[in-house]
Amino acid sequence: MEDFENIYDKIKELFGDYPNRLTILEEQIDISLQMEYFEISREVKKNLDKEAIMNNSEKLFDPDYPLASKKELLPMLASIEKVEAYRIIERFLKDPPPELRNWAVLALQESKMLIESRLLDENKVFISTGLGGKGNKLRYFVVIIGKNITEFSELQKKIIKNELEMTLKKYNSRIEEMNFLCSFATLLTIVPMNVTIKQVFREAINECNQFGNFLAENFIITNVKVLNYNEIREFIKKQNQLNK
């Protein structure tokens, strides 16, 4: 949890609560794919022949053109400060090969930021996580853990749902999805960047525990990926070992 607090504090320190030049990636895209994209993007910017790239741009729509070459051509186009380049990526994204959809999303975002930075004469700041976000809010995957129980009762599920919804609403946040897995409640949530996220869920858990003290005070939160049941169990096991 402390890592999230530190990241939040750094963002506030550098950019303030809602800087106009801050852009959050909305799509849920695997972090490793994002890293691969931006690494290739850095490489293709070296010795960039903008005219040749624009002349070759229609190859994106050639079904016989290799996917590997398209993966290089997309960030090349995204590196050109022209609306025409943006429109080509946008057109490609309307019906891309499934393997390149997220790649094209990243290229379109990069192209948009580059053009906006040029037109507004200010550098845009791009924040991307594995789970994405909306507007000035980030998406998180959260696991609430039952205490000394093997499965939540229907009443406990209702309490968790109601109290979490009410607490999140107070912080201009909301639940996108909630599931119960034995003694876990998992959530996808959207939370503003200017909200201290630990405070939100501690408060919600405290409210739930007014009705029987059935939740652990600790919880799991990540903005990298949605964890499956086995990953949750493994994470809790490791944490318990560290706390011994």
Kindly tell me if the per-residue pLDDT of 244 is higher than 60.
Answer: no
Beta strand 174-181 with 215-222: parallel, antiparallel or unpaired? Answer: unpaired
pTM above 0.85, yes or no: no
Q: Report the alpha-carbon distance of residue 56 to residue 60 in Å, rounded.
A: 8
Q: Which residues in the chain are classed under CATH 3.30.70.1290? A: 133-242
Q: Report the alpha-carbon distance of residue 172 to residue 141 in Å, rounded.
A: 17
pLDDT score of 91: 96
Kindly tell me if the per-residue pLDDT of 19 is higher than 60.
Answer: no
- Closest by Cα among 67, 88, 69 to 77: 88
Contact call for residues 145 and 215 (beta carbons, < 8 A): yes
Q: What is the pLDDT of residues 168-191, one digit of tens each?
A: 999 999 999 999 998 999 999 999
Q: Containing H/E element for 37?
A: helix 31-44
Q: What is the pLDDT of residues 28-85, one digit of tens each?
A: 899 999 999 999 999 988 888 999 999 999 999 999 999 999 999 999 999 999 999 9
The more confident residue out of 194 and 227 is 227
Q: Report the alpha-carbon distance of residue 237 to residue 122 in Å, rounded.
A: 47
What dotted CATH number matches 133-242?
3.30.70.1290
Q: What is the pLDDT of residues 104-152, one digit of tens each?
A: 999 999 999 888 877 776 666 778 888 988 888 899 999 999 998 899 9
